[in-house]
Amino acid sequence: MDGTKANTTMMISPRKPRVMLYSSPLIGHLVSMVELAKLFVARGLAVTIVLMDPVYDTGATGPFLAGVSAANPSISFHRLPQVKLLESDHSMIPALAIARHSNPHLRDFLTGASPDVLVVDFFCSAAVDVAAELGIPVYFFNTSGAQILAFIMHLPVLHGKSTRSFREMGEEIVHVPGITSFPATHTIQPLMDRDGASYNAFLNVSLNLFRSQGIIVNTFRSLEPRAMDTILTGLSAPPGLSTPPVYCIGPLIKSGEEEMELAVPMKGYDKEVVEAKEVAKKVKWMMDSKGGKAKPCAGNFIIIVATPSC
């Protein structure tokens, strides 16, 4: 050797930006959140999906996540400890109540994980308080389209215009900028009673949207131009609140590497006649994941192969 020192400097790869995706346990929302995770991974981000441990077992989440993990090793998962719902929570949509009670566990996890960004599902709106406390930028992911987003953003305005519940309004027409007017009776069930826990939780979801750094929507602008233009021009927002940046990234459609088979009871199956409305009812029941559970195919059960996109 000539006595000169060899250059032993090691090149250290820069740390990938870390994104935490906080998903609702509802299977339709979880499927869309996984598709968003794949999109982020493809762009070089380190992604962890944070899951709430539901107090109910749908029978669908476990097999689905196993398939996702096997097909997408770059996506990691973290399950928060299960929480106990209170008696007063029974009148609220379970996912909203679970998210609220999970905040202490989420805070502990995020404190150690130190993510660069937190993306939350609509039903995980309570996490905005934790993100604000820890100084983590938070974005919302709307797994549905722009029209439902326009409605939720405008809910505080509707609330301030009347003291009546939607249920009390009967067939009175509800006008929301950016979407087709509809009879009050067509409002989703959790919003029918303005004094109900779920209604007030949705009001908080709406207000938390305006506390976020941005909203990601599973749609594309030319599909819902009226709703998107209304949102982007601030017409959906309550007075005094500014609309955060809105990003259309859809359509995020589930890829085919995972497939779920569930046995669901069908009225009329024993007579070999199942009406279309019965199928629609049970598919909705399954996708909402409220008490659904895979069962052996016996008696009046029929196998449904589910590959939901939202």
What tens-digit pLDDT sequence spans the chain (310 residues)?
455 444 555 555 578 899 999 998 888 888 999 999 999 999 999 999 999 987 666 566 778 888 888 888 999 999 999 998 887 777 788 889 999 999 999 999 999 999 999 999 999 999 999 999 999 999 999 998 999 999 999 999 999 999 999 999 999 999 999 999 999 999 999 999 999 999 999 999 999 999 999 999 999 999 999 999 999 999 999 999 999 999 999 888 765 544 444 445 556 544 445 566 666 676 666 666 544 444 333 333 333 444 433 3
Cβ neighbourhood burial of 96 (10 Å; 0-12, 13-18, 19+) = buried
CB contact at 8 A, 39 and 252:
yes
Query: What's the confidence (pLDDT) of residue 206?
Result: 98
CB 126 within 8 A of CB 92: no
Structure tokens at 5: 């020192």
φ/ψ of 284, rounded to 5, equals -60, -45
Q: Which residues are catalytic?
A: 29, 121
> Smallest Cα–Cα separation from 24: which of 32, 12, 16?
32
Position 94 scores a pLDDT of 86
**0.75 cut: is pTM over it?**
yes
Structure token pair of residue 186: 């067509």
Which structural domains are found in the chain, ordered by start?
18-248 (3.40.50.2000), 260-306 (no CATH)
- Give the residue among 167, 177, 299, 170 at the shortest CA–CA distance from 236: 177
Residue 107 has, within 13 A of its CA and on its CB side, a CA count of 13
Q: Tokens for 184, please give them.
A: 């009050």
Structure tokens at 240: 């005094």
Cα separation, 228 vs 234, in Å, equals 10
Q: Are 83 and 102 in contact (CB under 8 A)?
A: yes
Strand partners, 119: 21, 139
SS3 category, 97: helix
